[in-house]
Structure 1
Amino acid sequence: MKLFKKLTALISAAAIAAAAIPAMPVTKADAANKTASQILYEMGLGWNLGNSLDSTGPGDNSEENWSNPKITKDLIEFVHSQGFSSIRIPVTWGYHMDSSHKISASYMKRVKEVVDYAYNEGMYVIINIHHDNEVKSDGNYFYPDNAHKDVSEAFVKSVWTQVSETFKNYDEHLVFETLNEPRLKGTGEEWWFPVDNPPSNVQEAVGVINTLNQDAVDVIRASGGNNKTRLIMCPGYDASLDGATVAGFRLPNDSSSMTGVSIHAYTPYDFAMNTKEWEGAVSVYNDSIKSQLDWFFSQVKSKVLDKGMVCYIGEFGATNKNNDSERCKWAEDYTSKAKALGIPVYLWDNNLYGVGEENFGMIQRNSLTVAYPSYLKALSKAYPVTAPAKIPGDVNGDKTVDLKDGLLLQQHLAGWKVAVNKTNSDVNGDGVIDLKDGILLKQYLAGWKVTLK
């Protein structure tokens, strides 16, 4: 008992010092040596944390506005354990800004906390500007036309100035995406336009999107730190393949050559999204659908990759039509074709279930279970599941074992509501996290010759 009290005192005293040490992300020495293509290949199969931080509306609890639960570290750990090596975290900013475009400190802190859940797992993480493509009276938005160009530029520059400063020391595992699906919202050309002969309003929008992408890249690069060479992905009009290949679209000038194209592809549309049979919707992965999928990837290769650009598919998926076996066929083909081209793909998951339009749920966030195991297995076939590396004693998941871990485990054992890496906290390997783990970790931190398992 005296020994336990002594070690507890050691940890408690160290807590004062630990509290004064700012939490800094790990920076890999070789980060600057990786090319955009290498990073994209490593990103592999990704998952979208949809309808959470991208929900619209003010307040620190806005992530729950669209009926999804508060994001937890356990959720991200579960996603990682299911074979997703990266995560896209869509973020809506405009509802959390004052009249001078200042993002609230509490909201930025929450975004950083969620990013850290995944980043500290060793996952690649993407953050962006998401549902801010709308005209609002407060000026905290972007809209890609000349009438709103000035306010859009001010907003985009302001967001990326603040985000860049917050995350500039993170290594290459953090990727920025300038905008999400920039388009002429509310018009007849919002989602569809003739790519070979776009109307004048779309041509105008493409020019504004080029400017906004360039603004974001310039601000990010100027912020210094690892942002000087961070991978930045930029969408074309509505983030479609057409939008990235239409005449007039161009990637930003970037001396670091670390920019690429963000594409969204729920394709073929009649299989993946359309639920209206009278408009051509199908639920069977037939030869026609397969041919359309082949054509899509051939176009990505010839019109994007062969032109010297890199890309990822930031959103994809097939809505549930009570056709699990057919979705599995589609998923296996889709991901294998993407993997063959070195393109990472990010499954859209809005945590919505049932049959019909926009039901893209996969990871059930309340129960931490997989809704469609066979579908996930098919998606993952091209990207073999690798379990996250265990670092015994790394309780807070920052890839080191130090006094902060000892303090955090002590707080967890005392019943505090703190997040711990459960795999790394079971330091004696008996399958439970209890006082024995706390004592063993304290002994290790005190320099005893003990082994953490």
Structure 2
Amino acid sequence: MLVLGTQAKAQDFETATEAVKNMGVGWNLGNTLDASSGSKQGLESETYWGQPVTKPELMKMMKEAGFGAIRVPVTWYNHMDTSGTVDEEWMKRVHEVVDYVIDQGMYCIVNVHHDTGDGTQWLHASTTTYEKVKSKYEYLWKQIANEFKDYDQKLLFESYNEMLDDENKWNEPATDDGYKAINNYAKLFVNTVRKTGGNNKNRNLVVNTYSASSTANAMKALELPEESGHIIFQLHSYPDWQNESNAKSIVDNLISTIKTNLLKRAPVIIGEYATFRTWPTNLDYYNENRELALYAMDYFIKKTKEAGIGTFYWMGLSDGIYRSEPAFNQPDLAETLTKAYHGSAFEGKYPVHDSSKGTVAFEGEKTLEWGEGVFVSSSMLTDVGEDVEVELTYKLDFTDYDDIQFMYNNGGWQKIPSGLSMDGKAFDGADFSASSVYGIQSGDTKTSVLTFDASAYGYVSKYEMVIQGHGVIMKKVTVRAPSGTSAIPLIKADHQDNTIIYNLNGQRVETPRKGVYIQNGKKFIIQ
């Protein structure tokens, strides 16, 4: 793919300060290329945390809405071999998504994301760990930097995400060793990228505070890794606003702290922020107090722009099934952010869900196995009613047998006992073999339509439906009204199952203990 502007000479690169100003307002493509399930995976990991495969149309929508920059979090360890070499197909996929952003004329930040985390990941803020992994870390960034060395100033690299110490301390490490380690990683990152040459000699690079913390101590402790004018500091902020006065005070104090401790030395971006808090409990003001959420976001963007600080909203806005269309599930919030930055007269485009196309519950490539499935929330099904149809597109991939099994999840997966039909043909219990019914072979792709009688609908309308099996790769699952009838009503924002909890390896957790978890696309901590 031809990338516009890649011929820019290194000496012509804008400064980091200019880049932050020119980015405008940004957004995070979260829970996508950063998703994982703990072991080496292929391209299917992109959909592991409930997001569809990213398409160019999504970036076009973000551009037309008024966003000027996209942060693309990427997790690498699950796509590396024992020598630290990144899988060629994974690097190619990251490259494709970067091109989606760059081709829209937006800025793009690529990082090393869930390779950091709760201290169990391979990167954490300890000088002992640093000495053990620095060669691997250097090799990783050498590969990334070489892959993109000819890209122009619209592409930036971010060193690491939220790196914690050996005791998994957030905001500030248990000892100053955590700060020392962070600065070691930052300097190694910058030096490694610079040595690859090309446009990387003057590429604008991003380094984060310890755990991406917004405390004054974390900001003070972060050293400037080079005096080049091409370094950007980053931190994250998920505050508890409570009311308009408190929200205003929190934003003002945050900006004041940034000015005192970081902005005098280098430009700053707030790489993650949102309408929700994660501690001491999860609370999303967008759902609980929409007026306060929009007020706080409007004030936040206006004040950060005034201070010359860049911002990247964490996920939300267009999430889950909405990204496939693409559409906004929080169009009023997207409009608030872009108008706060560009001015009230700005006219962006904020498309919403087109109900005539049905609802895509899953799109990607998911290999079905026992305990590895695709999920369809009950609310997607109940929106349509008892005559709901679930269209499945799948590929057979087996050496012994194929089986698609339909379960309901009431705290544990159980077979739907009866009342299921595929393409109008009833089948016994919850086991369906496409090779037996249609005579197709391994390697063939098929689209089938699942329907329910009153008894089976009783299960799926009350509980989440799970599709698992063996010898099958699920490619797309669409929930729709019966063929030839009226369209599915407009989907509400709460249609996803927001109760599911994942650890940082992407695994479902029924009883979370001490650590960092993800629920409804948001990180939270149990201490």
Q: Which residue does 1:345 correspond to in 2?
A: 311
Output aligned runs, 1:129-278, within 5 Å.
129-133=112-116, 141-184=122-165, 187=168, 190-193=169-172, 199-200=174-175, 203-242=176-215, 245-254=218-227, 256-266=228-238, 269-271=239-241
Instruction: Give the drift of 1:27.
Output: 2.7
Q: 1:370 to 1:134 in 2, by over 3 A?
A: closer
Say how many residue pairs are matched.
333
**SS of the residue 1:125 aligns to:** strand
- In structure 1, the gaps of 5 or more residues are 1-21, 272-281, 353-360, 389-453
> Are 2:96 and 1:113 equivalent residues in the alignment?
yes
Distance 2:252 2:117 in 1: 34
Instruction: Give the drift of 1:222.
Output: 0.5
Distance 2:216 2:33 in 1: 25
- In structure 2, the gaps of 5 or more residues are 277-283, 350-527
Q: Which deviations, in whole Å up to 9, do the C-alpha atoms of 1:376-409 show, x marking residues without a partner?
A: 2221123225879xxxxxxxxxxxxxxxxxxxxx
Q: Which residue does 1:326 correspond to in 2?
A: 292
Q: Which residue does 2:52 correspond to in 1?
A: 69
Q: 2:63 aligns with which of 76, 80, 84?
A: 80
Instruction: Give the drift of 1:154.
Output: 1.9
Distance 1:168 1:113 in 2: 15
Q: Which residue does 1:43 correspond to in 2?
A: 23
Q: More helix by proportion, 1 or 2?
A: 1
Assess if the C-alpha contact under 8 Å between 1:351 and 1:362 holds in 2. no
Q: 1:240 to 1:192 in 2, by over 3 A?
A: closer
Instruction: Give the drift of 1:38.
Output: 0.8
Distance 1:45 1:113 in 2: 22
**SS of the residue 2:71 aligns to:** strand
Distance 1:244 1:133 in 2: 21
Distance 1:155 1:135 in 2: 19
> Are 2:310 and 1:310 equivalent residues in the alignment?
no
Which deviates more, 128-137 or 114-123? 128-137
Assess if the C-alpha contact under 8 Å between 2:55 and 2:324 holds in 1. no
Distance 2:254 2:336 in 1: 20
Assess if the C-alpha contact under 8 Å between 1:237 and 1:243 holds in 2. no
Distance 1:209 1:330 in 2: 31
Distance 2:225 2:4 in 1: 28
Q: 1:185 to 1:314 in 2, by over 3 A?
A: farther
Instruction: Give the drift of 1:29.
Output: 4.1
Instruction: Give the drift of 1:168.
Output: 0.3
**SS of the residue 1:209 aligns to:** helix
Letter in 1 for 2:229: S
Assess if the C-alpha contact under 8 Å between 1:265 and 1:316 holds in 2. yes
Q: 1:299 to 1:246 in 2, by over 3 A?
A: closer
Taking structure 1 as the reference length, what is the TM-score of the superposition?
A: 0.69
**SS of the residue 2:85 aligns to:** coil
Q: 1:292 aligns with which of 231, 250, 257?
A: 250
Distance 1:115 1:250 in 2: 29
Q: 1:136 to 1:298 in 2, by over 3 A?
A: closer
Letter in 2 for 1:312: I
Distance 2:119 2:66 in 1: 40
**SS of the residue 2:240 aligns to:** helix
> Are 2:8 and 1:34 equivalent residues in the alignment?
no
Distance 2:326 2:312 in 1: 19
Letter in 2 for 1:314: G
Q: 1:290 to 1:28 in 2, by over 3 A?
A: same
Distance 1:351 1:377 in 2: 10
Letter in 1 for 2:24: G
Aligned CA-pair RMSD: 2.5
Q: Which deviations, in whole Å up to 9, do the C-alpha atoms of 1:14-43 show, x marking residues without a partner?
A: xxxxxxxx8455336476252211111001
**SS of the residue 1:262 aligns to:** strand
Letter in 2 for 1:153: K
Q: Which residue does 1:380 correspond to in 2?
A: 338
Letter in 2 for 1:130: H
Which deviates more, 324-333 or 238-247? 238-247
Q: 1:244 to 1:225 in 2, by over 3 A?
A: farther
Letter in 1 for 2:23: M
Instruction: Give the drift of 1:44.
Output: 1.1
Q: Which deviations, in whole Å up to 9, do the C-alpha atoms of 1:243-292 show, x marking residues without a partner?
A: 774554312125x33112011112xx223xxxxxxxxxx3xx33123212
Letter in 1 for 2:268: C
Distance 1:247 1:302 in 2: 9
Taking structure 2 as the reference length, what is the TM-score of the superposition?
A: 0.59
Instruction: Give the drift of 1:185.
Output: 6.3
Instruction: Give the drift of 1:192.
Output: 3.5
Q: Which residue does 2:429 correspond to in 1?
A: none
Q: Which residue does 2:74 correspond to in 1?
A: 91
Instruction: Give the drift of 1:76.
Output: 1.3
**SS of the residue 2:234 aligns to:** strand
Identity percentage of aligned residues: 32
Q: 1:89 to 1:244 in 2, by over 3 A?
A: farther
Letter in 1 for 2:240: D
**SS of the residue 2:75 aligns to:** coil
